[in-house]
């Protein structure tokens, strides 16, 4: 597998690059609903849906703006091998076609949760395991998260996230985020993948409803003032 190799210079370059990229493609990027509080002395497991090429970039942006933790993101090995620069930002690989690779990636995920950084790290996993259309139901979550929590054994913040992009009143799209409730979990107090999957489906429907109702959220970036700090 390909492991993460964080470097400060890569992070600085990518923050600058992402600012320009978002300015070119998005009118506005907003969080709807409440921005959750997380416990800084516990690792954070961020669990988004995965329906656009932008999702990994969005996670990076959310961490820069809201959480400011050392970030790790599980990425398909074929993609990370092609874009190895992302390993310097915290991406690491999994090959779903190799049982050995899956085991190694899950063990590595456990090691990430055990890191004693201040604050503790953020680990992003896309439980669907692949990029699928936004309205695909059921979501069909993979079971790797259960294995990770069992191997870790300790407590962690578990935070669902719904992501949606829409073309509304502007030439460029808008991106919307909606967080679920942050839950403190461990392997013994985890409701299972089916329950988590159903919760995410409800969250996605709620995000769609809020967009239709034109809810005004917290703007993270907008075209006239795009700057990551």
CATH number at residue 29: 3.40.1130
Mark the ranges of the chain whose per-residue pLDDT is less than 70. 224-229
pLDDT of 228 reads: 53
pLDDT of 94 reads: 95
Q: Classify residue 16: in a domain, yes or no.
A: yes
Runs of H (alpha helix) within the chain: 8-25, 55-62, 77-82, 99-113, 144-152, 193-212
The tokens for 192 are: 């299972």
Q: Classify residue 98: in a domain, yes or no.
A: yes
Residue ranges making up the domain that contains 88: 8-225
The number of domains in the chain is 1
Could you read off the pLDDT of 128-138 as tens digits, one per residue?
888 888 888 99
Q: Classify residue 3: in a domain, yes or no.
A: no
Q: Classify residue 106: in a domain, yes or no.
A: yes
Global pTM reads 0.93
pLDDT of 225 reads: 53
């Amino acid at each position: 597998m390909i492991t993460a190799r964080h470097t400060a210079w890569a992070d600085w370059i990518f923050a600058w690059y992402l600012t320009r990229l978002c300015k070119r493609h998005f009118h506005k990027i907003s969080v709807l609903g409440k921005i959750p509080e997380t416990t800084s002395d516990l690792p954070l497991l961020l669990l988004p849906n995965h329906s656009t090429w932008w999702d990994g970039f969005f996670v990076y942006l959310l961490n820069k703006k809201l959480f400011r933790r050392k970030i790790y993101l599980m990425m398909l090995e074929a993609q990370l091998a092609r874009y190895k620069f992302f390993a310097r930002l915290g991406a690491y690989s999994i090959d779903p076609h190799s049982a050995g690779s899956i085991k190694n990636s899950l063990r590595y995920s456990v090691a990430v949760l055990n890191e004693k950084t201040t604050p503790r790290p953020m680990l992003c996993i896309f439980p669907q395991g692949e990029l699928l259309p936004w309205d695909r139901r059921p979501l069909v979550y993979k079971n790797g998260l259960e294995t990770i929590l069992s191997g870790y054994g300790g407590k962690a913040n578990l935070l669902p996230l719904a992501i949606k992009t829409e073309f509304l009143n502007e030439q460029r799209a808008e991106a919307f985020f909606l967080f679920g409730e942050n839950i403190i979990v461990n392997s013994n107090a985890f409701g299972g993948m089916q329950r988590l999957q159903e919760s995410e489906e409800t969250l996605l429907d709620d995000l769609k409803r809020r967009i239709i109702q034109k809810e005004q959220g917290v703007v993270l970036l907008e075209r006239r003032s795009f700057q990551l700090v």
